[in-house]
Amino acid sequence: MSTLKNRRIEWVDAAKGLAILLVIAGHTVASGTFTRNIIFSFHIPLFFILSGYTFRPASNWADFFYRTKKDAVHLLVPYVLTGLLIAAAKIILRHLPLLDVLKDTCEALIWASGTGDGTHEAIGVLWFLVSLFSARTIVNAVYTVYKGDLERRAPYLIALISLLGFGIGGFDWNWLIFNLDVSMAACGFVLAGMLVRDHLDQLKKYDRVLIPVFMIIWMFLMQKFGYIEMSGRWYPEFSLGILESFCGSYCAIRFIQAICYPEKLKGALCWLGRHSLILMCIHAAEDSLTQLWFTLPPFAAVCARLAADILAAFVLIKVFDLLKGKTNIQ
């Protein structure tokens, strides 16, 4: 465990911690507000970029299948379990018909779309887990095919796949099963994370120019037309929206890397980042089951929701730790 812990990159964990806080806050503040626009302009692309930053392609097909299986256990199992737990809660707490809830839940899990299309049920924020799994698998497959001298061609194919995903999702209701069009689009952000990792040292040399320029581009584009929203396939001024998302994500990455913050705050953000998957599942559950937060004033609603989700995650993690301890003892 100590070896695994040492392999973690603290600023990546801290950035994931910030991103999951923004996900929860972004789903609480009112639509159309400046705060929500800032959050939605980069928070989900940031997650994909951070995943790409720590992603290493498989060395061969055996390694590819091993990693795919590992990602499936890590991402798809919580996805299905959380969906089924939400369904059980709806049946028990809201006394909804068992068969209707199970039918809608299974349909939502299969389509894995963040928003409904008028025909299929939406799965909510859990769409991210499916798209992260699929995007990582697609990128991994491309790099496994393009080995050796051909590896330099892989980014071009991944970029083409990403553009195709955006294009498919851009047509009204022409969405793919298992959220595949969004997953294809997300491949571009995973690739961007890999490229940032490979060239970050060079980029840092030009911080005095890049950071102000990226911030100006980010803010200008956000004010001009809003932002792309992957869960709903909302891609206004599509290429500029991608640029806006990248600029905002890069500024957030450099901010997290450069800022000198107290150790306790750093530790808290890293803890949130390490457990961002649990937090996302908890947030998905409460988002489907309660609208309590929207009865409070905006700032109080954000604080209360963040506190409730973090507390629930803390308790759940402690329960898991106790169960693991008992299993190890036995």
| pLDDT value of position 1 | 32
Residue 204 pLDDT:
92
- pTM exceeds cut of 0.75: yes
pLDDT band of 173, cuts 50, 70, 90: low
Query: What does the chain come to in residues?
Result: 330
Taking residues 179-204, what's their average pLDDT?
96
Q: Long-range contact list for 237-242, CB < 8 A, 24+ apart? A: 238/166, 238/170, 242/166, 242/188
87 Cβ contact list (under 8 Å, min separation 6): 101, 102, 104, 105
212 versus 119: the higher-pLDDT residue is: 212
Residue 258's pLDDT band, with cuts at 50, 70 and 90, is confident
Phi and psi, residue 237, nearest 5°:
45, 55
pLDDT at residue number 263: 79
**Number of neighbours of residue 307 by Cβ within 10 angstroms:** 10
The model's pLDDT over 25-73, given as tens digits with 9 standing for 90+, comes to: 999 999 889 999 999 999 999 999 999 999 999 999 999 999 999 999 9
Q: Is the pLDDT of residue 120 over 80?
A: no
From CA 56, how far away is CA 134, in angstroms rounded? 15
Q: What is the mean pLDDT of the chain?
A: 91
Cβ-contact 254, 51 below 8 angstroms: no
Among 20-29, 87-96, 164-173, 315-324, the minimum mean pLDDT is found in 164-173
Measure the CA–CA gap between 276 and 272, rounded to whole angstroms: 6
The mean pLDDT value for 174-200 works out to 94
Tens-digit pLDDT profile for residues 154-167: 999 999 999 999 99
Residue 328: pLDDT over 50 = yes
Q: At residue 153, does pLDDT exceed 70? A: yes
Total domains in the chain come to 1
pLDDT in tens, 241-251: 999 999 999 99
Q: What is the pLDDT of residue 4?
A: 39
pLDDT of res. 245: 96
The proportion of the chain whose per-residue pLDDT surpasses 70, expressed as a percent, equals 94
Domain hosting residue 52, numbered range:
2-329
- Smallest CA-to-CA distance from 186 within 50, 20, 32 is with 50
Tell me what pLDDT residue 81 has. Answer: 97
Q: What is the pLDDT of residues 298-321, one digit of tens each?
A: 999 999 999 999 999 999 999 988
Q: Any idea which of 7-16, 172-181, 188-197 has the lowest mean pLDDT?
A: 172-181
In angstroms, the CA 124 to CA 231 distance is 8
Residue 58: the pLDDT is 94
Rounded Cα distance, 279 and 275, in Å? 6
Q: How high is the pLDDT of residue 3?
A: 37
131 to 128, 259, 281, 316: CA distances (angstroms): 5, 31, 15, 25
